[in-house]
Amino acid sequence: MRSSLVPRQMLTFAVIGVVNTGTYYGPYLVFLTRFPYLVAHILATAISMTGSFFLNARFTYRTRPTLRKFLLFPLTNAANFLSTTAGVYVLVDLLHFSSRFAPLLASLAAIPVTFVVSRRIMLPKADPAPIA
């Protein structure tokens, strides 16, 4: 039964990723009217990462959010960054893909890596039973 959860979790994780992109971009554009782009980016990232944490806790993993999980959750962004950076390098420098489209392909390829890191943070082995 547990293995049947993984495809559902992965799909939910991807959908939340799409929602999270909007959750980032909307505030980024608003903050950009008042702050330099880097400040706007940091503030929008904090908002979207917080939203992503709670959405994934509730809908993807059906687990209780804890402070420990919340503090570890930014590691999913680090995993995504490392995966996409490696992917862009391989696609552009080794496989000669267009640098214009390589980040999109690399982002798709990074979803499973980011999902695995996120799942380990949100569902550690000692985690109590998931919430309904």
pLDDT tens-place values along the chain, 132 residues long: 456 788 899 999 999 988 988 898 999 999 999 999 999 989 998 999 999 999 999 999 999 999 999 999 999 989 988 988 899 899 999 999 998 888 888 888 888 899 999 999 999 874 444 554
Integer Cα distance of 28 and 42 in angstroms:
9
The tokens for 47 are 């908002």
The single-letter code of the amino acid at 125 is: K
Give residue 55's identity as a one-letter amino acid code: L
Distance CA 78, CA 1 (A): 30
